[in-house]
Structure 1
C-alpha cells in the first residue's frame, strides 16, 4: 500500500496566512475568495493520498462569481442561505481537486 502524507511546512503556512490577511484587509473583504483559493491550493497541493499528489485548479475569479451569488442569496433570505454556503464552498473545492497523473 502506498503512503499518504502532508508535506506543507509551518514557515510557508505562516507566510501564506499573513499574505491572506493583508489581501482581505486591503480589499475590504472583497479579496476573501482570493485568500480562500490560496489556502485551498496550499493545503491540497501539499497532500499526497496513496502515493498520488493532489492538485487544485480552482481560480479566485470563479469562486468570486459564486461568492457574490451566495452573498446575495444570503442577504435576500435574511441569512437563511448562509447554512448552505459552507456546503457550496466544499462542493466547489471538491470539483476543482484532482490527482496528478
Structure 2
C-alpha cells in the first residue's frame, strides 16, 4: 500500500515456508518436551519479521534462542516462586524481548 511518503509496506513471506516453519517448530518443541520452545519461537517470529517491509524499510530480527532461553529460565523460576502470579507478566516480557531484538535494516 502506498503511504504518504511514497513508499510501500508489504509482507513477502510464502505460505509453504510459513506452514513448514510452524510444523517444524511444533515438532521440535514436542520432541524436547518444551525445552527448545525458545528456538521454535525465534525461528517463527524471525521469519515473520525478516519478511516484513514497512515504508520501504525491511525489518530485521536479531534475537537468538540462547538469549531467550536465559530469560525463559528466569521467568519460569519467578513464576514458580510467585506460585504462578508472574505468568501474567511473562507475555509482556516476551513482547518486550521481541521489540528489543527487532529493528530496521540500515542500508
Q: TM-score under structure 2 normalisation?
A: 0.92
- Runs in 1 of length 4+ with deviation above 3 angstroms? none
Q: Which has the larger radius of gyration?
A: 2
Picking from 38, 61, 66, the partner of 1:61 is 66
* 1-structure distance, mates of 2:73, 2:63: 16
Unaligned runs of 5+ in 2: 1-5
Asked if 1:36 is matched to 2:41, the reply is yes
* 1:8-50: CA deviation from partner (whole Å, max 9, x where unpaired): 1110001001100111011111011001100110110010000
Partner of 2:14: 9
Q: What residue number does 2:78 align with?
A: 73
Q: 1:47 aligns to what?
A: 52
CA RMSD of aligned residues (A): 0.6
Shift of 1:91: 0.6
Stretches of structure 1 lacking an aligned partner (at least 5 in a row) = none
The aligned residue for residue 91 of structure 1 is 96
Cα distance per residue 1:73-93 (max 9 Å; x no partner):
111111110110011001100
Aligned mates of 2:105, 2:71 — CA distance in 1: 26
Distance 1:21 1:93 in 2: 20
